């Protein structure tokens, strides 16, 4: 059994999916390329620029420290009035993989960290099955504050908040972005195209390669689609390896 197939089985087991025996190569095997030592793994990019001291300038010129501070006190959109706290992002600031969801939910709003709770646990399982720990990648949302009652992000909120994500991406300089779910994909790509049509494509967000897949919360409701996520993550790894 080749390393890719071993990894696929580990992924399916971690996701609670029985492994099928097939006489023909799996879709995942067809999509993905042979794995090379450490390729696509949690390798790190060079250190980002050091935070600039003094008064913060424009968001596009901020270092991590100023960016975190500005987000923490941000009032650029109405969500500041209903949040418990902002949810900045977590993980390695030198990660090659960046996972982006739409916005914090109730638990994230309470804890101040993205992708906690059941959906977060499923994301952790997906990462583990890919050979990563949560701290090897970077995880963030398009919006840093929770929309009330978990409603969909509004265009104006995305417009106001997106510069923070853009600056995070510039500082991290990831090899690939994985957009988690329809709303994240639509917010980043400025499209209304169905998620099913966006999946399977090598996309780009401000020059950084991007792949779209399902949100873990969706997978909790539709576990049959977990197999498709494996295909999407293999594509993301291919994108990374091809650079």
| Chain residues that interact with ligand SF4, rule: CB under 6 A | 71, 74-77, 79-80, 86, 143-145, 157, 160-161
CB of 41 to ligand SF4, least distance (A): 32
- Check: CB of residue 150 under 8 Å from CB of residue 106: yes
* Closer Cβ to ligand SF4, 188 or 198, answer by number: 188
Q: How far apart are the C-alpha atoms of 88 and 165, rounded to whole Å?
A: 9
- Evaluate the CA torsion angle 237, 241, 242, 243 in order and state its sign: positive
* Closer Cβ to ligand SF4, 46 or 58, answer by number: 58
CB of 168 to ligand SF4, least distance (A): 12
CB of 49 to ligand SF4, least distance (A): 22
* Closer Cβ to ligand SF4, 140 or 176, answer by number: 140
* Closer Cβ to ligand SF4, 77 or 98, answer by number: 77
The residue behind tokens 């390669």 is 209
Q: Where are the alpha helices (DSSP H) in 89-207?
A: 106-111, 117-129, 155-172, 182-189, 195-198
Q: How far apart are the C-alpha atoms of 209 and 129, rounded to whole Å?
A: 22
CB of 88 to ligand SF4, least distance (A): 9
* Closer Cβ to ligand SF4, 123 or 143, answer by number: 143
CB of 100 to ligand SF4, least distance (A): 14
Q: How far apart are the C-alpha atoms of 3 and 8, rounded to whole Å?
A: 9
């Amino acid at each position: 059994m080749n390393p890719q197939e071993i990894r696929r089985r580990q992924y399916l087991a971690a996701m609670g999916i029985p492994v099928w025996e097939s006489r023909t190569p799996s879709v995942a095997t067809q999509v993905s390329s042979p794995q090379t030592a450490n390729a696509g793994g949690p390798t790190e990019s060079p250190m980002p620029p050091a935070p600039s001291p003094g008064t913060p300038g424009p968001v596009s010129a901020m270092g991590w420290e100023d960016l975190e501070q500005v987000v923490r006190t941000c009032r650029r959109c109405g969500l500041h009035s209903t949040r418990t706290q902002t949810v900045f992002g977590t993980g390695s600031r030198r990660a090659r993989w960046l996972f982006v969801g739409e916005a914090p939910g109730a638990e994230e709003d309470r804890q101040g960290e993205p992708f906690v709770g059941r959906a977060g646990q499923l994301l952790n399982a997906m990462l583990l099955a890919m050979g990563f720990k949560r701290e090897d990648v970077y995880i963030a949302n398009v919006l840093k504050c929770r929309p009330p009652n978990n409603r969909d992000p509004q265009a104006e909120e995305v417009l106001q908040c997106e510069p923070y994500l853009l600056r995070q991406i510039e500082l991290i300089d990831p090899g690939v972005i994985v957009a988690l779910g329809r709303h994240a994909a639509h917010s980043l790509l400025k499209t209304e195209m169905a998620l099913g049509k966006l999946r399977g494509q090598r996309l780009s967000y401000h020059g950084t390669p991007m792949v779209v897949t399902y949100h873990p919360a969706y997978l909790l409701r539709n576990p049959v689609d977990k197999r498709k996520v494996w295909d999407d993550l293999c594509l993301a790894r291919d994108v990374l390896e091809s650079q």
